[in-house]
Amino acid sequence: MSENWDLVVVGGGSGGLACAQRAARHGARVALAEPGPLGGTCVNVGCVPKKLMFHAADVASVLADAPDYGFALDVRGHDWAALKARRDAYIGRLRGIYAENLAGSGATLMRAAARLAGPGRVDIGGTTHAARHVVIATGGRPSVPAVPGAEAGVTSDGFFALEARPSAVAIVGSGYVAAELSGVFAALGSRVTVAIRGERMLRDFDEMLSLRLAAAMQADGIAIETAARPAALERAAGGLTLALADGRRLGPFDCVVWAIGREPNVAGLGLAEAGVALGPGGEIATDAWQDTSVAGIHAIGDVTGRSGLTPVAISAGRRLADRLFGGQPDARLDYRLIPTVVFSHPPLGTVGLTEAEARAEYGDAAEVFRHDFMPLYHGLTARRRRAEVKLVTAGPERRIVGLHAIGMGADELLQGFAVALRLGATKRDFDDTVAIHPTSAEELVTLPG
């Protein structure tokens, strides 16, 4: 064996880095194995570059609204390649910062793939190391449908590799990736069609958010094809045609993006040989403490299939390190009331139960308070975009168990309200809070009832 470690982290994404750095700062001897770019999905082909593209789309919208605010502009189009170059350079700098922070914590970075090699052992780049604890944090990857011609499409990873903006694009999927990328493409000038398997976007979100977002997307010229199950993707001289199971044919398109979900990165890790149990979706099964079925082996982040969000992976990783090496035996992540934002156009935010979930759990004790309104920004614009908010309460004290908002600023307002829900805020608490006027956030503390 080469070396003995207190902790070996397999995977250098957000969760793995957070866990490794926290453990090292607690005094543990830590090695992190990652053959690819540091930062994982979030930094390289996820949250960060996605949010930059969201901002680019927002700039396009503001430029379109500028005449309504008295500006005479001569906009000469958009340079996708220039945006990509600046975005990629920024991501490159972030990778360097991640490496510096990891080294500064005292953890050792090993640029090699790793796999479990027996009890308390990890093979890293062909060398076996001993480890008291191993954390699997290898994340996930975009799924591709098993249909003929699927290789002609791209995933969200491929979206960030595009050197030019496609004139006509189809996005297959109804989740947050489909919602976000469709808004970017449309704002920057592409003709966009979204093909969804069911009847509504974001089907796991509160119905208010789904319906309001679909209306906004269609107002932006995005076509939404429902009950659309891909049967094949065909390439011809005119472009790509998406053939559906019911006989419909969509296209031609310059680009087709598969946004049908993600699957855990578990191949090649030696999990079966080590006896690590997997869940029904191929994810690593973990308990409330991030422990797997094998003592000393833990897993965090997207590879566990639990709430695939970067801050969740970071929080789970830090708390695990605190428990294992920081003298905090009760430290673990509470997966309840996790706030979520979709950077669609308009953005939306949600925390807690949907209306349907609350009614199923609390019955007649569930109450709903909602309001739709026109944000002041759109008071002067020809482009009219209404916003909407909803509070879901339970019990006679009207404790808030769900909060949902869509519209300008919904992404930023959610964080503070998520804190309020974790503290057990009631409708009366919101009513007794002085509103900040004029804002969209004030609508949540001025709801009648």
253 and 281 housed in the same domain: no
277 & 318 share domain = yes
**Structure confidence at residue 19 (pLDDT):** 98
Distance separating alpha carbons of residues 196 and 250, to the nearest angstrom: 12
Provide the annotated active-site residues.
437
Question: pLDDT tens for residues 397-447?
Answer: 999 999 999 999 999 999 999 999 999 999 999 999 999 999 999 999 999
Coil, strand, or helix at residue 185? helix
Do 407 and 387 reside in the same domain of the chain? yes
Residue ending a domain, among 230, 260, 290, is 260
Q: Is residue 105 part of a domain?
A: yes
Helix axes 80-105, 14-25, angle to 10 degrees: 20
Instruction: Yes or no: say if 253 and 149 are a contact pair by the CB < 8 Å rule.
Output: no
pLDDT digits (tens, 9 = 90+) for 96-150: 999 999 999 999 999 999 999 999 999 999 999 999 999 999 999 999 999 999 9
Instruction: Encode pLDDT of 155-167 as tens digits.
Output: 999 999 999 999 9
Same domain, 134 and 65: yes
Q: What's the CATH code of the domain at 178?
A: 3.50.50.60
Looking at the structure, do residues 207 and 89 belong to the same domain, yes or no?
no
Name the pLDDT band for 382 (thresholds 50, 70, 90).
very high
How does the average pLDDT of the chain come out, rounded? Answer: 97
Assess if residue 340 is contained within a domain: no
Residue 434 sits in which domain range?
346-445
Residue type at 154 in one-letter notation: V
Query: 64 by DSSP, 3-state: which?
Result: helix
16 shares its domain with 130: yes
Q: Nearest Cα to 196, choosing from 221, 171, 169? A: 171
* Cβ proximity of 150 and 162 under 8 Å: no
Please write the tens of the pLDDT for every residue from 196-210. Answer: 999 999 999 999 999
- Residue 335 placed within a domain: no
Instruction: Please identify, among 260, 281, 306, the residue that sits at the C-terminal boundary of a domain.
Output: 260
CA 284/CA 314 separation, integer angstroms = 17
Over the chain, what HEC string results?
CCCEEEEEEECCEHHHHHHHHHHHHCCCCEEEECCCCCEHHHHHHCHHHHHHHHHHHHHHHHHHHHHHHCCCCCCCCCCHHHHHHHHHHHHHHHHHHHHHHHHHHCCEEECCCEEECCCCEEEECCEEEEEEEEEECCCEEECCCCCCCHHHCECHHHHCCCCCCCCEEEEECCCHHHHHHHHHHHHCCCEEEEECCCCCCCCCCCHHHHHHHHHHHHHCCCEEECCCCEEEEEEECCEEEEEECCCCEEEEECEEEECCCEEECCCCCCHHHHCCCECCCCCECCCCCCECCCCCEEECHHHHCCCCCHHHHHHHHHHHHHHHHCCCCCCCCCCCCCCEEECCCCCEEEEECCHHHHHHHHHHHEEEEEEEECCHHHHCCCCCCCEEEEEEEECCCCEEEEEEEECCCHHHHHHHHHHHHHCCCEHHHHHCCCCCCCCCHHHHHCCCC
User: Residue 437: its pLDDT value, please?
Assistant: 97
Task: List the CATH number of the domain containing 378.
Answer: 3.30.390.30
Residues 104 and 14 in one domain: yes
Residues 188 and 70 in one domain: no
∠ CA 165-167-173 to the nearest 5 degrees? 85
Q: What pLDDT shows up at residue 3?
A: 87
With a cut of 80, say whether residue 226 has pLDDT above it. Answer: yes
Overall domain count for the chain:
3
Residues 254 and 278 in one domain: no
The rounded distance, in Å, linking the Cα atoms of 411 and 213 is: 14
Residue 9 falls within a domain, yes or no?
yes
Is the residue at 367 inside a domain?
A: yes
Q: How confident is the model at residue 1 (pLDDT cuts 50, 70, 90)?
A: low
Assess contact for 28 and 320: CB atoms under 8 A.
no
Residue 341: inside a domain: no
Within a domain: 332? no
Considering 233, 260, 287, which residue would you say is the last residue of a domain? 260
**227 and 128 housed in the same domain:** no
Q: Are residues 290 and 397 in the same domain?
A: no
- Whether residue 330 is contained in a domain is answered as no
pLDDT at 2: 76
245 in the same domain as 99: no
